[in-house]
Amino acid sequence: MNRRHFISSGAFAAALSASNPKTAPAATPKRALMKLGATVMGGGGRRGAAGPEGGSERPQGGAGRGGGSSEQGFKSLGRWGIKNVVATAQIADGRQFATVEELKRLTDTADKYGISVDILNPPFLPSSHIDREQHPAIRLGESPQRDRDIEQIQTMIKNCAAAKIPCIKYNMSILGVLRTGRTPGRGDTTYSSYKLKEAHADPPLTRAGVVNADRYWERITYFLERVIPVANEYKVRMACHPNDSPVPPEGYQGVVAVLGTVEGLKKFVSIKESPYQGLNFCQGTVSEMLQNPGKEVYDVIRYFGSRKKIFNVHFRNIRGHRDDFMEVGIDEGDVDMFTAMQAYKEVDYPYMIHPDHDVSSPSDSGGEYTAFCYAYIRALIQAVDRPA
């Protein structure tokens, strides 16, 4: 192209415009894609069990806990403008999978209130301690029962696809959620806390016996090799929650918690590589893995988010560091939650961000802190969605 032709062309005009900010067209601002979400549960059944130190995973956002998501739970979320949820189906006959009809009843109920069931909680593989589990075979590596349980997960994947539920959340934890007590917080609240130096393995071993890293990885790999191909076929994401058990490298109660470190999570997502194999990214749990979460967690978000391995976010805060921390209010911990939200926007994270684990207060009937978290998350999403 000669000079005269270049000057008369659109290429020259575009180059001139780009070099002059006053004449350059304004770039379209990048929008935040994440959604405020909730976990809605139903009445009856058992609550998520704890590790032997007395902590527990406390799901938020529903009317009660247990067997299935209730209509009242969906109705209550409507008042906060929540449109996307993790939910649990009512399952009959003692099965470990929901039928298509049961799942459609769940989604139809949610739809009445303008809510989308984005993730299903299956009836097993929760975050409970293995000694309390009714269906432990997958995590214990016990065949042939683990094969039968895996078949039920495979059926659940197929049925979720038919019911248009795009994701299943699960947990491969053996030790559950380990905590050592509670610490006084602001007002009349107390915070679930963990100090490794105060932890006592009682009993010394779980029903799993000694589970070193190789054994644990074998069981995880066995599961993924049989489940992820089905998830690929039916296009249902499988979101694994990290081990909420900050144990020493040599293990605790005989178990090396391989999904309790960032390096372990990196290895996990590389097994059976797939767009349908990823994490329920519990930001609180990941922060508990780090020596300086207030500086380190943002790069962890970017690592997994840029690789599209985050399928759901539990948005909670801690004060402290690995081996010594407390679960504090969402707005008062060591992690800058605005900076964390910016990191999710930066990697174009498109799914739910929702509260996880209540602080405890004798005067909170079960909804006040959760509502505060909804408002806080909503405000952060709106803040990062504004142009700079």
- Looking at residue 16, what is its pLDDT? 42
Report the DSSP beta bridge partners of residue 240: 170, 279
CB 375: neighbour CB atoms within 10 A? 12
Q: CA 154, CA 141: separation in Å to the nearest integer?
A: 17
Contact 192, 357 (CB under 8 A): yes
Q: CA 242, CA 56: separation in Å to the nearest integer?
A: 15
> Can you give the pLDDT of all 388 residues of the chain as single tens digits?
444 443 344 444 444 444 455 555 566 778 999 999 999 875 433 333 233 333 334 434 433 333 568 888 898 898 889 999 999 999 988 788 999 999 999 999 999 999 999 999 998 899 999 999 999 999 999 999 999 999 999 999 999 999 999 999 999 999 999 999 999 999 999 999 999 999 988 889 999 999 999 999 999 999 999 999 999 999 999 999 999 988 999 999 999 999 999 999 999 999 999 999 999 999 999 999 999 999 999 999 999 999 999 999 999 999 999 999 999 999 999 999 999 999 999 999 999 999 999 888 988 876 889 999 999 999 999 999 987 6
What is the pairing mode between strands 190-195 and 277-282?
unpaired
- Looking at residue 48, what is its pLDDT? 30
- Looking at residue 79, what is its pLDDT? 84
Nearest to 285 by CA among 45, 47, 51, 117: 51
- Looking at residue 26, what is its pLDDT? 61
- Looking at residue 190, what is its pLDDT? 95
Q: For all residues of the chain together, what is the average pLDDT?
A: 88
Phi first, then psi, for residue 226 (nearest 5°) are -100, -20
Q: CA 223, CA 218: separation in Å to the nearest integer?
A: 9
